[in-house]
Amino acid sequence: MATTGTETEDAPSAAEGAKGEANRKRGSEQGEGGAGGGGQKRKKKEVFIYGNYRNYYGYRIDRNVGEDPRLEAFNKQWFENKDCLDIGCNQGLVTIGLAMKFNCRRILGVDIDSGLIETAKWNLRRIMRQDKVATKNVKAQESSNSPSQSSPGEGAPEFSNGNKHHDLFKIVSFRCENFVESLDGCSEQYDTILCLSVTKWIHLNWGDDGLVTLFVKIWRLLRPGGVFIMEPQPWTSYRRNRLVSEVARENFNTICIYPEKFREILLDKVGFRSVELIMDRLVGTATGFDRPIEVYHK
């Protein structure tokens, strides 16, 4: 059985949000207090074996910053009018944020956890609702001001876009899927693929084979000239999660492709043309999440 204190990527403890399904808790609940527990019931702790945390953004993003700082580091050209894929999208906040900030043509978020995908869809509806209200308020303000005093979009709150995102439902979609299940079905094509803080979870659950499947599938899904944006977790952080399940423990002990080798594999074996390091250490992010972000060009 997995022990508590190992389920977290860095420090999360909250298990809130959407109702999960059985698979995310595979071998994951700690039993009640054992010997010496005085008969007292100890609260069961969920273990998120895929990194499928319920309150990921609650602890990942520095409360004083607001927007996910990774969006600041991204280049508009990778997203504007592009077909994008966000692998391991969790609750969809980065996916939706990218669509709104950079005007993607389409963006699909996929995640292995159906509960998180439901929350992502709910977030999309919520943000669209907020956006409509904000747009209405701006319009009302504009019509009450004299033309010389107002300008379109002025005074709109964070998620407002002055009608720009009225088609967000057509742009953003979410799908529950295990991305590394198979290499089949690579008929879709994308200009930009993101894989942010997901490699460790795929590596721990599916070993080196899973990691290679991930990289090859990304390559196949990308159009020529496309970009792959990756935020890999360092090997030191694998140790903290190696006991989330028996499978993870076994894989941890047999992994040969360490994160410092990813670059070599992607360039020399998978076939990416070049790589740029866009962030060596992310600022404005909570401790433990200041990871490098790399962009690979096909």
Ligand X SMILES: C[S@@+](CC[C@H](N)C(=O)[O-])C[C@H]1O[C@@H](n2cnc3c(N)ncnc32)[C@H](O)[C@@H]1O
Pair 243, 249: CB distance under 8 Å: yes
Piece of 111-119, 124-132, 261-269, 276-284 that binds ligand X (CB under 6 A): 111-119
Between 135 and 291, name the residue whose CB sits nearer to ligand X. Answer: 291
- Does position 94 interact with ligand X (CB under 6 A)? The reply is yes
Distance separating alpha carbons of residues 295 and 298, to the nearest angstrom: 10
Site string for ligand X, 193-222 (x = CB under 6 A): ---xxx--xx--------------------
Token code pair at residue 265 = 């594999």
Pair 96, 125: CB distance under 8 Å: no
What's the closest the beta carbon of residue 209 comes to ligand X, in angstroms? 12
Total residues in contact with ligand X, by rule CB under 6 A: 23
What's the closest the beta carbon of residue 269 comes to ligand X, in angstroms? 21
Distance separating alpha carbons of residues 65 and 111, to the nearest angstrom: 26
Token code pair at residue 12 = 């999360």
Binds ligand X (CB under 6 A): choice among 46, 113, 118, 191: 113
Binds ligand X (CB under 6 A): choice among 9, 46, 142, 191: 9
Site string for ligand X, 43-82 (x = CB under 6 A): -------xxx---x--------------------------
Between 134 and 211, name the residue whose CB sits nearer to ligand X. Answer: 211
Token code pair at residue 195 = 């894989």
- SS3 state at 296: strand
Residue 72 CB contacts under 8 Å (≥ 6 apart), including other chains: 284
Residue 100 CB contacts under 8 Å (≥ 6 apart), including other chains: 127, 159, 161, 165, 168
What's the closest the beta carbon of residue 77 comes to ligand X, in angstroms? 21
Binds ligand X (CB under 6 A): choice among 7, 46, 83, 111: 111
> Between the CA of residue 284 and those of 95, 100, 160, 290, what are the distances in Å?
19, 20, 23, 8
Between 155 and 247, name the residue whose CB sits nearer to ligand X. Answer: 247
Which residues form the interface with ligand X (CB under 6 A)? 9, 50-52, 56, 87-90, 94, 110-113, 116, 178-180, 196-198, 201-202
